[in-house]
Amino acid sequence: MAITGRSDGPLLGPPDRLVDGLAGLASVVRDRSASLGVPVDVDAIALLGERAAIAGLARRGQTSCGGATRLVRASDGWLAVALPRPEDRELLPAWLGIDAGDVDRDAEAAWRAVVAALAGRRAGDAVERASLLGLPVSQLPDEPVAAVAAAPPLASLPVAATTVPGPAPEPRPLAAMTVIDLSSLWAGPLCGSILGSAGARVVKVESTRRPDGSRAGPRRFFDLVNGGKRSVALDLAADDGWKVLRRLLAVADVVIEGSRPRVLEQRGIVPAAVVANAGPRVWVSITGHGRTGVGRDRVAFGDDAAVAGGLVVADASGPCFCADAAADPAAGLAAAAACLDALATGGRWLLDVALAGVAASLAGPTLIAGDDSPTGGVITEVAPPRARPAALRGPELGEHTAEVLGGLGVTA
Protein backbone atom coordinates (compact mmCIF):
# COMPACT_ATOMS: atom_id res chain seq x y z
CA MET A 1 0.00 0.00 0.00
CA ALA A 2 2.91 2.37 0.66
CA ILE A 3 3.89 2.19 -3.02
CA THR A 4 0.38 1.94 -4.48
CA GLY A 5 -1.94 4.81 -5.40
CA ARG A 6 -1.55 8.49 -6.15
CA SER A 7 1.22 10.43 -4.47
CA ASP A 8 -1.24 13.09 -3.33
CA GLY A 9 -4.21 10.80 -2.72
CA PRO A 10 -5.41 8.45 0.00
CA LEU A 11 -3.90 5.02 0.50
CA LEU A 12 -5.49 2.31 -1.62
CA GLY A 13 -5.99 -1.27 -0.56
CA PRO A 14 -4.64 -4.16 -2.67
CA PRO A 15 -6.61 -6.18 -5.23
CA ASP A 16 -8.70 -8.67 -3.29
CA ARG A 17 -6.84 -11.80 -4.51
CA LEU A 18 -3.30 -10.46 -4.18
CA VAL A 19 -2.41 -11.34 -0.59
CA ASP A 20 -3.90 -14.84 -0.54
CA GLY A 21 -2.53 -15.60 -4.01
CA LEU A 22 1.02 -14.66 -3.08
CA ALA A 23 0.75 -16.53 0.21
CA GLY A 24 -0.29 -19.65 -1.70
CA LEU A 25 2.76 -19.42 -3.96
CA ALA A 26 5.05 -18.97 -0.96
CA SER A 27 3.46 -22.01 0.70
CA VAL A 28 4.28 -24.23 -2.30
CA VAL A 29 7.87 -22.94 -2.29
CA ARG A 30 8.22 -23.73 1.42
CA ASP A 31 6.73 -27.22 1.20
CA ARG A 32 8.49 -28.35 -1.98
CA SER A 33 11.88 -26.90 -1.05
CA ALA A 34 11.70 -28.73 2.28
CA SER A 35 11.06 -32.04 0.48
CA LEU A 36 13.96 -31.51 -1.94
CA GLY A 37 16.61 -29.80 0.14
CA VAL A 38 16.56 -26.71 2.32
CA PRO A 39 13.18 -25.21 3.31
CA VAL A 40 12.82 -21.65 1.99
CA ASP A 41 10.44 -19.24 3.69
CA VAL A 42 9.58 -16.31 1.43
CA ASP A 43 7.91 -13.12 2.64
CA ALA A 44 5.83 -12.87 -0.52
CA ILE A 45 4.31 -9.46 0.21
CA ALA A 46 7.71 -7.96 0.97
CA LEU A 47 8.97 -9.15 -2.44
CA LEU A 48 6.71 -6.60 -4.14
CA GLY A 49 8.51 -3.71 -2.47
CA GLU A 50 12.13 -4.82 -2.41
CA ARG A 51 13.30 -2.87 -5.44
CA ALA A 52 11.36 0.19 -4.29
CA ALA A 53 12.97 -0.03 -0.85
CA ILE A 54 16.47 -0.24 -2.31
CA ALA A 55 16.01 2.44 -4.98
CA GLY A 56 13.89 4.79 -2.88
CA LEU A 57 10.85 4.58 -5.15
CA ALA A 58 7.42 5.91 -4.17
CA ARG A 59 3.81 5.67 -5.35
CA ARG A 60 3.02 7.82 -8.37
CA GLY A 61 -0.52 6.82 -9.35
CA GLN A 62 -0.76 6.48 -13.12
CA THR A 63 3.03 6.64 -13.49
CA SER A 64 4.90 3.54 -12.41
CA CYS A 65 7.13 3.70 -9.33
CA GLY A 66 10.18 3.48 -11.56
CA GLY A 67 8.84 6.20 -13.88
CA ALA A 68 9.24 4.39 -17.21
CA THR A 69 5.61 3.30 -17.67
CA ARG A 70 2.39 5.30 -17.65
CA LEU A 71 -1.30 4.56 -17.81
CA VAL A 72 -2.69 6.50 -20.77
CA ARG A 73 -6.32 6.75 -21.85
CA ALA A 74 -7.20 5.67 -25.38
CA SER A 75 -10.55 6.39 -26.99
CA ASP A 76 -12.06 3.16 -25.61
CA GLY A 77 -9.98 2.19 -22.59
CA TRP A 78 -6.65 2.38 -20.81
CA LEU A 79 -3.18 1.47 -22.02
CA ALA A 80 0.07 0.89 -20.17
CA VAL A 81 2.86 2.39 -22.27
CA ALA A 82 6.41 1.49 -21.23
CA LEU A 83 9.38 3.48 -22.51
CA PRO A 84 12.31 2.12 -20.47
CA ARG A 85 14.83 1.99 -23.35
CA PRO A 86 16.14 4.78 -25.58
CA GLU A 87 14.98 2.87 -28.66
CA ASP A 88 11.40 2.88 -27.34
CA ARG A 89 11.18 6.66 -27.55
CA GLU A 90 12.82 6.59 -30.98
CA LEU A 91 9.96 4.40 -32.24
CA LEU A 92 7.18 6.74 -31.11
CA PRO A 93 6.89 8.63 -34.45
CA ALA A 94 6.54 5.31 -36.31
CA TRP A 95 4.00 4.04 -33.80
CA LEU A 96 1.75 7.08 -33.47
CA GLY A 97 2.78 9.39 -36.30
CA ILE A 98 3.81 12.10 -33.85
CA ASP A 99 6.44 14.72 -34.58
CA ALA A 100 10.01 13.54 -34.09
CA GLY A 101 10.84 16.96 -32.68
CA ASP A 102 8.54 16.35 -29.70
CA VAL A 103 10.25 13.03 -29.03
CA ASP A 104 13.73 14.50 -29.25
CA ARG A 105 13.05 17.58 -27.11
CA ASP A 106 12.66 15.90 -23.71
CA ALA A 107 10.86 13.02 -22.03
CA GLU A 108 7.87 15.05 -20.84
CA ALA A 109 7.28 16.48 -24.30
CA ALA A 110 7.32 12.95 -25.67
CA TRP A 111 4.76 11.82 -23.09
CA ARG A 112 2.48 14.76 -23.84
CA ALA A 113 2.58 13.83 -27.51
CA VAL A 114 1.77 10.19 -26.66
CA VAL A 115 -1.20 11.20 -24.50
CA ALA A 116 -2.58 13.46 -27.21
CA ALA A 117 -2.17 10.87 -29.95
CA LEU A 118 -3.67 7.96 -28.01
CA ALA A 119 -6.76 9.94 -27.00
CA GLY A 120 -8.07 9.45 -30.52
CA ARG A 121 -6.96 5.83 -31.04
CA ARG A 122 -8.64 2.55 -30.25
CA ALA A 123 -6.68 0.68 -27.59
CA GLY A 124 -6.60 -2.61 -29.49
CA ASP A 125 -5.28 -0.98 -32.65
CA ALA A 126 -2.58 0.82 -30.68
CA VAL A 127 -1.45 -2.41 -29.00
CA GLU A 128 -1.35 -4.28 -32.30
CA ARG A 129 0.84 -1.70 -34.00
CA ALA A 130 3.08 -1.37 -30.95
CA SER A 131 3.60 -5.13 -30.97
CA LEU A 132 4.76 -5.06 -34.58
CA LEU A 133 7.37 -2.46 -33.66
CA GLY A 134 8.54 -4.24 -30.50
CA LEU A 135 7.15 -1.62 -28.11
CA PRO A 136 5.95 -2.80 -24.67
CA VAL A 137 2.34 -1.60 -24.65
CA SER A 138 -0.60 -3.40 -23.03
CA GLN A 139 -4.31 -2.82 -22.73
CA LEU A 140 -6.10 -2.91 -19.38
CA PRO A 141 -8.86 -5.51 -19.85
CA ASP A 142 -12.47 -4.49 -19.32
CA GLU A 143 -13.29 -7.86 -17.75
CA PRO A 144 -11.21 -10.19 -15.55
CA VAL A 145 -8.72 -12.27 -17.50
CA ALA A 146 -9.11 -16.03 -17.17
CA ALA A 147 -6.08 -17.21 -15.22
CA VAL A 148 -4.08 -20.23 -16.39
CA ALA A 149 -3.59 -23.02 -13.86
CA ALA A 150 -1.27 -26.02 -14.05
CA ALA A 151 -3.10 -29.34 -14.20
CA PRO A 152 -2.46 -32.32 -11.88
CA PRO A 153 -0.14 -33.90 -10.93
CA LEU A 154 1.34 -30.42 -10.40
CA ALA A 155 -0.16 -28.02 -7.89
CA SER A 156 -2.72 -25.57 -9.24
CA LEU A 157 -0.31 -22.72 -9.96
CA PRO A 158 -0.69 -19.87 -12.52
CA VAL A 159 1.57 -21.45 -15.15
CA ALA A 160 1.09 -23.65 -18.19
CA ALA A 161 2.88 -26.96 -17.59
CA THR A 162 3.57 -29.58 -20.25
CA THR A 163 5.03 -33.02 -19.65
CA VAL A 164 7.84 -33.85 -22.05
CA PRO A 165 8.41 -37.47 -23.12
CA GLY A 166 11.95 -38.68 -22.58
CA PRO A 167 14.18 -40.81 -20.38
CA ALA A 168 13.03 -40.70 -16.76
CA PRO A 169 15.61 -38.72 -14.75
CA GLU A 170 17.24 -40.38 -11.77
CA PRO A 171 16.05 -39.01 -8.42
CA ARG A 172 18.58 -36.73 -6.77
CA PRO A 173 18.58 -34.05 -4.09
CA LEU A 174 18.44 -30.41 -5.10
CA ALA A 175 21.97 -29.94 -3.76
CA ALA A 176 23.19 -32.20 -6.57
CA MET A 177 21.38 -30.26 -9.29
CA THR A 178 22.67 -27.52 -11.59
CA VAL A 179 20.45 -24.63 -12.65
CA ILE A 180 21.43 -22.69 -15.76
CA ASP A 181 19.94 -19.22 -15.42
CA LEU A 182 19.81 -17.35 -18.74
CA SER A 183 17.36 -14.73 -17.48
CA SER A 184 17.85 -11.09 -16.57
CA LEU A 185 16.32 -8.22 -14.61
CA TRP A 186 13.91 -9.49 -11.93
CA ALA A 187 11.50 -12.42 -12.44
CA GLY A 188 13.95 -15.05 -13.72
CA PRO A 189 16.84 -14.09 -11.42
CA LEU A 190 14.45 -14.19 -8.43
CA CYS A 191 13.37 -17.70 -9.44
CA GLY A 192 17.02 -18.76 -9.66
CA SER A 193 17.78 -17.14 -6.32
CA ILE A 194 15.00 -19.11 -4.60
CA LEU A 195 16.25 -22.37 -6.13
CA GLY A 196 19.75 -21.49 -4.93
CA SER A 197 18.47 -20.83 -1.41
CA ALA A 198 16.89 -24.31 -1.52
CA GLY A 199 20.29 -25.85 -2.22
CA ALA A 200 20.77 -25.93 -6.00
CA ARG A 201 23.92 -24.77 -7.74
CA VAL A 202 22.90 -21.82 -9.91
CA VAL A 203 24.99 -20.69 -12.87
CA LYS A 204 24.14 -17.27 -14.31
CA VAL A 205 24.92 -17.20 -18.05
CA GLU A 206 25.13 -13.82 -19.80
CA SER A 207 26.20 -12.41 -23.12
CA THR A 208 29.50 -10.54 -23.01
CA ARG A 209 27.97 -7.91 -25.29
CA ARG A 210 24.54 -7.63 -23.64
CA PRO A 211 24.84 -8.57 -19.97
CA ASP A 212 21.95 -8.48 -17.52
CA GLY A 213 20.58 -4.93 -17.51
CA SER A 214 20.18 -4.99 -13.73
CA ARG A 215 23.97 -4.73 -13.45
CA ALA A 216 23.49 -1.06 -14.34
CA GLY A 217 21.05 -0.52 -11.46
CA PRO A 218 21.52 -0.49 -7.69
CA ARG A 219 24.19 -3.00 -6.74
CA ARG A 220 22.27 -4.10 -3.65
CA PHE A 221 19.30 -5.18 -5.78
CA PHE A 222 21.55 -7.11 -8.17
CA ASP A 223 23.17 -8.84 -5.19
CA LEU A 224 19.76 -9.63 -3.71
CA VAL A 225 18.55 -11.69 -6.70
CA ASN A 226 21.92 -12.96 -7.91
CA GLY A 227 23.94 -13.45 -4.73
CA GLY A 228 25.80 -16.77 -4.57
CA LYS A 229 25.38 -17.60 -8.26
CA ARG A 230 28.33 -18.55 -10.45
CA SER A 231 28.83 -16.39 -13.54
CA VAL A 232 29.58 -17.57 -17.07
CA ALA A 233 29.98 -15.01 -19.85
CA LEU A 234 29.74 -16.10 -23.49
CA ASP A 235 30.08 -14.21 -26.77
CA LEU A 236 26.62 -14.90 -28.13
CA ALA A 237 27.33 -12.83 -31.20
CA ALA A 238 29.55 -15.70 -32.33
CA ASP A 239 28.64 -19.28 -33.26
CA ASP A 240 31.19 -20.67 -30.79
CA GLY A 241 29.38 -18.97 -27.93
CA TRP A 242 26.12 -20.67 -28.90
CA LYS A 243 27.89 -24.04 -29.17
CA VAL A 244 29.08 -23.71 -25.58
CA LEU A 245 25.60 -22.63 -24.50
CA ARG A 246 24.04 -25.72 -26.08
CA ARG A 247 26.48 -27.92 -24.15
CA LEU A 248 25.59 -26.14 -20.93
CA LEU A 249 21.89 -26.70 -21.56
CA ALA A 250 22.49 -30.40 -22.16
CA VAL A 251 24.10 -30.92 -18.74
CA ALA A 252 21.65 -28.76 -16.76
CA ASP A 253 18.99 -30.12 -14.44
CA VAL A 254 16.96 -26.91 -14.69
CA VAL A 255 17.02 -24.09 -17.26
CA ILE A 256 15.53 -20.66 -16.57
CA GLU A 257 15.19 -18.27 -19.50
CA GLY A 258 13.28 -15.13 -20.30
CA SER A 259 13.71 -14.82 -24.05
CA ARG A 260 10.92 -14.42 -26.54
CA PRO A 261 10.53 -17.87 -28.19
CA ARG A 262 11.81 -16.85 -31.61
CA VAL A 263 15.17 -15.72 -30.19
CA LEU A 264 16.14 -19.29 -29.25
CA GLU A 265 14.33 -20.86 -32.20
CA GLN A 266 16.42 -18.79 -34.60
CA ARG A 267 19.46 -20.52 -33.10
CA GLY A 268 17.91 -23.97 -33.41
CA ILE A 269 17.15 -24.29 -29.68
CA VAL A 270 13.67 -25.74 -29.12
CA PRO A 271 13.09 -26.18 -25.38
CA ALA A 272 10.83 -29.24 -25.62
CA ALA A 273 13.36 -31.00 -27.87
CA VAL A 274 16.26 -30.17 -25.54
CA VAL A 275 14.34 -31.53 -22.54
CA ALA A 276 13.24 -34.67 -24.39
CA ASN A 277 16.80 -35.47 -25.45
CA ALA A 278 17.82 -36.47 -21.90
CA GLY A 279 18.37 -32.79 -21.20
CA PRO A 280 17.05 -30.70 -18.29
CA ARG A 281 14.41 -32.11 -15.97
CA VAL A 282 12.61 -28.76 -16.00
CA TRP A 283 12.75 -25.89 -18.48
CA VAL A 284 11.30 -22.67 -17.06
CA SER A 285 10.34 -20.12 -19.71
CA ILE A 286 9.34 -16.69 -18.38
CA THR A 287 7.87 -14.28 -20.92
CA GLY A 288 5.54 -11.31 -20.91
CA HIS A 289 2.54 -12.97 -22.54
CA GLY A 290 3.36 -16.69 -22.79
CA ARG A 291 5.12 -18.96 -25.27
CA THR A 292 2.08 -19.60 -27.45
CA GLY A 293 -0.60 -17.56 -29.16
CA VAL A 294 -0.52 -14.12 -30.70
CA GLY A 295 1.43 -12.61 -27.81
CA ARG A 296 4.35 -15.05 -27.86
CA ASP A 297 6.80 -12.53 -29.30
CA ARG A 298 5.50 -9.38 -27.62
CA VAL A 299 7.94 -7.37 -25.54
CA ALA A 300 6.83 -6.79 -21.95
CA PHE A 301 8.13 -5.52 -18.63
CA GLY A 302 6.72 -5.90 -15.14
CA ASP A 303 4.46 -2.85 -15.05
CA ASP A 304 2.82 -3.15 -18.47
CA ALA A 305 2.46 -6.94 -18.08
CA ALA A 306 0.69 -6.40 -14.75
CA VAL A 307 -1.78 -4.09 -16.46
CA ALA A 308 -2.34 -6.66 -19.22
CA GLY A 309 -3.40 -9.12 -16.53
CA GLY A 310 -5.67 -6.56 -14.88
CA LEU A 311 -3.45 -6.26 -11.80
CA VAL A 312 -4.16 -2.63 -10.94
CA VAL A 313 -5.96 -0.70 -8.22
CA ALA A 314 -8.56 1.97 -8.86
CA ASP A 315 -10.10 5.05 -7.32
CA ALA A 316 -12.77 7.44 -8.54
CA SER A 317 -10.34 8.95 -11.06
CA GLY A 318 -9.36 5.69 -12.71
CA PRO A 319 -6.76 2.93 -12.48
CA CYS A 320 -3.37 3.21 -10.77
CA PHE A 321 -0.35 0.93 -10.78
CA CYS A 322 -0.27 -1.75 -8.10
CA ALA A 323 3.11 -1.65 -6.32
CA ASP A 324 6.36 -1.67 -8.33
CA ALA A 325 6.36 -3.82 -11.49
CA ALA A 326 4.31 -6.34 -9.51
CA ALA A 327 4.20 -8.92 -12.31
CA ASP A 328 7.97 -9.40 -12.07
CA PRO A 329 8.37 -10.59 -8.47
CA ALA A 330 5.03 -12.41 -8.61
CA ALA A 331 6.09 -14.32 -11.73
CA GLY A 332 9.51 -15.08 -10.25
CA LEU A 333 7.84 -16.56 -7.17
CA ALA A 334 5.34 -18.52 -9.28
CA ALA A 335 8.14 -19.86 -11.48
CA ALA A 336 10.13 -21.05 -8.47
CA ALA A 337 7.04 -22.69 -6.94
CA ALA A 338 6.18 -24.48 -10.19
CA CYS A 339 9.78 -25.59 -10.77
CA LEU A 340 10.15 -27.02 -7.25
CA ASP A 341 6.78 -28.72 -7.62
CA ALA A 342 7.80 -30.27 -10.94
CA LEU A 343 11.12 -31.48 -9.51
CA ALA A 344 9.33 -33.02 -6.54
CA THR A 345 6.77 -34.70 -8.84
CA GLY A 346 9.40 -36.17 -11.16
CA GLY A 347 9.54 -36.55 -14.90
CA ARG A 348 10.43 -33.88 -17.44
CA TRP A 349 8.56 -30.58 -17.76
CA LEU A 350 8.27 -27.44 -19.82
CA LEU A 351 6.87 -24.59 -17.69
CA ASP A 352 5.40 -21.59 -19.48
CA VAL A 353 5.26 -18.67 -17.03
CA ALA A 354 3.66 -15.51 -18.43
CA LEU A 355 4.00 -12.30 -16.43
CA ALA A 356 0.54 -11.20 -17.57
CA GLY A 357 -0.92 -14.60 -16.71
CA VAL A 358 0.48 -14.59 -13.18
CA ALA A 359 -0.81 -11.03 -12.76
CA ALA A 360 -4.29 -12.15 -13.86
CA SER A 361 -4.33 -14.79 -11.12
CA LEU A 362 -3.79 -12.06 -8.51
CA ALA A 363 -6.07 -9.35 -9.92
CA GLY A 364 -9.41 -8.30 -8.51
CA PRO A 365 -11.42 -5.40 -7.12
CA THR A 366 -9.53 -2.92 -4.98
CA LEU A 367 -10.08 -3.54 -1.28
CA ILE A 368 -11.42 -0.62 0.69
CA ALA A 369 -8.95 1.26 2.89
CA GLY A 370 -11.53 3.70 4.25
CA ASP A 371 -14.30 3.68 6.83
CA ASP A 372 -15.55 0.25 5.73
CA SER A 373 -12.11 -1.39 5.81
CA PRO A 374 -11.55 -4.53 7.93
CA THR A 375 -9.69 -2.37 10.47
CA GLY A 376 -12.84 -0.38 11.13
CA GLY A 377 -11.31 2.95 10.22
CA VAL A 378 -9.44 4.93 7.61
CA ILE A 379 -5.89 3.68 7.08
CA THR A 380 -3.57 6.68 7.13
CA GLU A 381 -0.17 5.08 7.66
CA VAL A 382 1.45 1.84 6.53
CA ALA A 383 4.90 0.32 6.86
CA PRO A 384 7.38 1.40 4.18
CA PRO A 385 8.63 -1.20 1.69
CA ARG A 386 11.49 -3.34 2.92
CA ALA A 387 14.17 -5.49 1.35
CA ARG A 388 15.98 -8.54 2.65
CA PRO A 389 19.66 -8.10 3.34
CA ALA A 390 21.78 -9.51 0.51
CA ALA A 391 23.56 -12.38 2.27
CA LEU A 392 25.93 -13.00 -0.66
CA ARG A 393 27.31 -10.78 -3.39
CA GLY A 394 26.30 -11.17 -7.00
CA PRO A 395 29.12 -12.36 -9.28
CA GLU A 396 31.12 -10.15 -11.58
CA LEU A 397 30.47 -10.76 -15.27
CA GLY A 398 32.23 -13.98 -16.31
CA GLU A 399 33.91 -14.38 -12.94
CA HIS A 400 33.59 -18.18 -12.95
CA THR A 401 33.54 -19.01 -16.67
CA ALA A 402 36.62 -21.25 -16.79
CA GLU A 403 35.83 -22.90 -13.44
CA VAL A 404 32.22 -23.72 -14.32
CA LEU A 405 32.89 -24.95 -17.85
CA GLY A 406 35.71 -27.16 -16.60
CA GLY A 407 33.70 -28.49 -13.68
CA LEU A 408 30.75 -29.41 -15.91
CA GLY A 409 33.00 -30.94 -18.55
CA VAL A 410 32.01 -28.35 -21.13
CA THR A 411 34.74 -27.25 -23.52
CA ALA A 412 34.81 -23.92 -25.33
The CATH architecture assigned to 1-54+142-412 reads 3-Layer(aba) Sandwich (3.40)
Q: Which of 357, 336, 364 is nearest to 155 (CA)?
A: 336
Q: Which DSSP symbol is given to 392?
A: S
Residue 353, helix vs strand vs coil: strand
Q: What pLDDT shows up at residue 235?
A: 96
CA separation for the pair 12, 379 (Å, rounded): 9
CA separation for the pair 410, 251 (Å, rounded): 9
Residues of the chain where predicted confidence (pLDDT) is lower than 70: 370-378, 412
Q: What pLDDT shows up at residue 370?
A: 62
CA separation for the pair 29, 24 (Å, rounded): 9
* Prediction pTM value: 0.96
Q: What are phi and psi of 101, to 5 degrees?
A: -65, -35
Q: Which helix (H) or strand (E) holds 349?
A: strand 349-354
Q: What pLDDT shows up at residue 410?
A: 85
Q: What is the pLDDT of residues 198-256, one digit of tens each?
A: 999 999 999 999 999 999 999 999 999 999 999 999 999 999 999 999 999 999 999 99
Tell me the HSE value of 301 on the side-chain side, using a 13 A CA sphere. 22
Domain edges within the chain: 1-54+142-412
